[in-house]
Amino acid sequence: MNFDLMAALDKLEASKPELVVVGDLILDEYVIGYPERISREAPVLILEHKETFYRLGGAANAALNAAKLGARVTLVGFLGEDFAGEQVASICAQAGIELITCKPNGYQTALKTRILANNQSQSLSYSGTNSAQQVLRVDRLPALSSLSQEVRLELANLIDPKKTLLFSAYGLGVCERELVQAALVARPERIVIADPSNDFAVFAGAQHFTPNQPDTEKALGRQIDFSSSEDLQKTWAELRGLCGVKSEFLITRGAEGMLLLADNLAQAIPAFNLAEVFDVSGAGDTVSACFALCLAAGLSSLEAAIISNTAASLVVRKAGTASTSIGEIRGQLGGLDYSFLH
């Protein structure tokens, strides 16, 4: 198999694609402190607070990844009239992301708080490979009952039907059937990518899917034997039965890399730089965003998959939900061994 990934990356960079990301908007909060002592009240660690900072999570992280790769990005979802919603809007504005939202009465913006303990001899910044360790996560999630069918359809009407669309679903109530199908009906000829978290059939009609292995196996109701060509053919048929016969699937497998099922192709792509993994948070968002941009730029699914895998190999070296750039990807591709291709 002979193709030029550097030329493909140049094409991606030159195209500056437009992307609409629709999904669950999450604010990630990181609270870092030094271990001080064990509490006298209970056998728990006391941290001396040193730093708190915020990053985009969920669909918002996918949008940020796309923006960092040079795309013109519109992010569509629900926000609450609360501190987390204000932070999401502020970070999006700083990143040049156009934010289109509905704000239902009583809606609470999803907030995930990670408590990290850091050795006093190390830098406090959680932006590189230091010794900060996550000791607790607290999730404050919106109530799905607060989202009516009417408000979802209202949001669907705000989606530009002329641009490539990425659904980034985290199961928090945005990417439900009525919204997704309304958006799909309005864009029959446009590229649509879905990164589903549960019911794949909700996204039936999308051409491309980027699920992880656990969610894929849950959707199929069985484990996949990735070493068996017969089982991969069966998986391909079952997934297309769920999502449409024209659909392609890029299944992310963590330390095992990825599998691309497309046009009777079952191509395994190994994880790159596995020994340098530091934090896998948000790596799936990087994959879906990069894959969507590559397709919007006219690259093949295989080119898009390898470039997306390379992008993911870079963000897992970084702490927290992170992003990468075209320059970093180009540097990584230069030393890539293509022997895995068949």
Q: pLDDT by residue (tens digit) across 203-225?
A: 999 999 999 999 999 999 999 99
- For residue 14, what are its two tokens? 């030159």
Q: Which of 82, 139, 285, 337 is catalytic?
A: 285
| 150 phi/psi in degrees, rounded to 5 | -65, -45
Answer whether residue 7 shows pLDDT above 80: yes
Q: How far apart are CA 130 and CA 320, in angstroms?
A: 12
Q: Are the beta carbons of 270 and 340 closer than 8 angstroms?
A: yes
Q: Helix crossing, 326-333 with 301-315: angle to 10°?
A: 100
pLDDT value for 321: 60
Q: How far apart are CA 253 and CA 80, in angstroms?
A: 33
Answer whether residue 90 shows pLDDT above 90: yes
- For residue 61, what are its two tokens? 């992280």
Active site residue 285: yes
**Least confident piece of the model among 86-95, 199-208, 269-278:** 269-278
Q: Are the beta carbons of 261 and 236 closer than 8 angstroms?
A: yes
The predicted-structure confidence for 127-144, as pLDDT tens digits, reads as follows 444 567 889 999 999 987
The predicted-structure confidence for 21-63, as pLDDT tens digits, reads as follows 999 999 999 999 999 999 999 999 899 999 999 999 999 999 9
